[in-house]
Each structure stands twice: as C-alpha cells, then as structure tokens.
Chain A
Amino acid sequence: DQQVKQNSPSLSVQEGRISILNCDYTNSMFDYFLWYKKYPAEGPTFLISISSIKDKNEDGRFTVFLNKSAKHLSLHIVPSQPGDSAVYFCAARASGSARQLTFGSGTQLTVLP
C-alpha cells in the first residue's frame, strides 16, 4: 500500500519553461512534506519542504504547493534549467512520528536545452 504516490515516472520540459512535479498521499496523519533531488550515483539531497499549516513555500526557482483537502502536493521549478535534470522524490512524515519519512517512487525530470 503506497502512502505516497508519484504517478508520473518521467517528465520532459524545455529549458526556461516551468516543470511541475506531482505527488499524492493517502495518510491524513502526514503533516510535513519534503522534496529530495537525486542525481545518478549520488544520494538524494534535500530540496524544499512544507508544513501542513502552510499551502505554499518558495525558495528561489522552487515552489512547493500543498492542497490538504485533495491530499496533493506539487513542486514547481521555474525557469527550468538543464542542471535540474534528476530524479525528484516526494516524502512525507506523520505527526508524532519523527523517526521516518515515507517516500514516493520518484519522477525523472529531463530538462531539454
């Protein structure tokens, strides 16, 4: 039973355009959400996070939106750059459970020059 789902295994966008990566979750106890980026042969690195008390968090070219009623979050990258090409993982943490993150299966983003 996947509690965090990334239904698009891959996404291609043109350089300079917006990339939108989507994530859905089923556990209503999740209260903190994160995005990680992973390059080949490297470990995932933290990108941006959002608490359930917010609906938007922005950091430079990266913005995460949270829609709690729909149990959906998205990561927007604008403008997209070739260096953004990587696998993006959505992750969630349940309230009262600081011990582990539940990850989605990832989306491979390719930004075409």
Chain B
Amino acid sequence: GAGVSQSPSNKVTEKGKDVELRCDPISGHTALYWYRQSLGQGLEFLIYFQGNSAPDKSGLPSDRFSAERTGGSVSTLTIQRTQQEDSAVYLCASSLAAMNTGELFFGEGSRLTVL
C-alpha cells in the first residue's frame, strides 16, 4: 500500500502479558516514529529511528517498552508485562529524512486495551 500500515488495528490483552505492535512505513521513508495517544491526551512521543543511526528512545515511558526496526523498514514496538495504564492508541509515522518540512505521515494506529 501507499500509506503507513499498522497491525493489529485492535488488541485486547490481559495485564501482565506481552504485546507486539507492527509498523510498515511508506517505502523510501528513512525516518520512523512511534507515538501514543491515551484517552483525552495529546500524542506522546515514544521513539524515533533515522536510517542506521542509534534510535532516540527518550520518550519510552519505562524499560517494559522497546522497539526495533529491521532492515531500515518494518518496526516492531514491544510492551512487556502490560499494565492498564498502557492502554492507548499507538501511532506509527514515517517521513523522508529527518522531517525537513515537519510533515509526518501517520498510520491508522493500533488500539491497545489492557484488562
């Protein structure tokens, strides 16, 4: 597809379980971002990948959160031992280079519900 693709679109899990969220960015976009939106909140930055550089993990809320980007394309966000406060919509975005124009292209998001 032409846009950013995320899966699953919805995930319901039990507290304490691990989850993996996947993002397939737009072909040719070297920058990839993960954000999350909790209920009633703005988009919160989590992590940023740019080419082969070390990722900027400054937004990850705890060490239960990690992300990988394999081959400079697909990214996986992993949340271990999920907690109820992890419930949110997790949004992936990509852009050409380091967001020269500031424009990010977002996927539709993965809605995570932790029971």
Q: Which residues of A contact B (CB under 8 A)?
A: 2, 4, 6, 9, 32, 34, 36, 41-46, 49, 89, 91, 93, 98-106
Contacts and interface: CB of A to CB of B under 8 A. Distances in A.
Closest 4 CB pairs of A and B: A43-B106, A103-B43, A105-B42, A98-B98
Interface residues of B, number: 27
24 contacts: A2-B42, A4-B42, A6-B42, A36-B106, A43-B4, A43-B91, A43-B93, A44-B43, A44-B91, A44-B104, A45-B106, A46-B102, A46-B105, A49-B101, A89-B43, A98-B99, A98-B100, A99-B98, A100-B33, A100-B48, A100-B56, A101-B102, A103-B43, A105-B40
Interface of B: 4, 33, 35, 40-45, 48, 50, 56, 59, 91, 93, 98-109
A48 to B, nearest CB: 10
A77 B72 CA distance: 38
Contact of B42 (A32, A34, A49, A89): A89
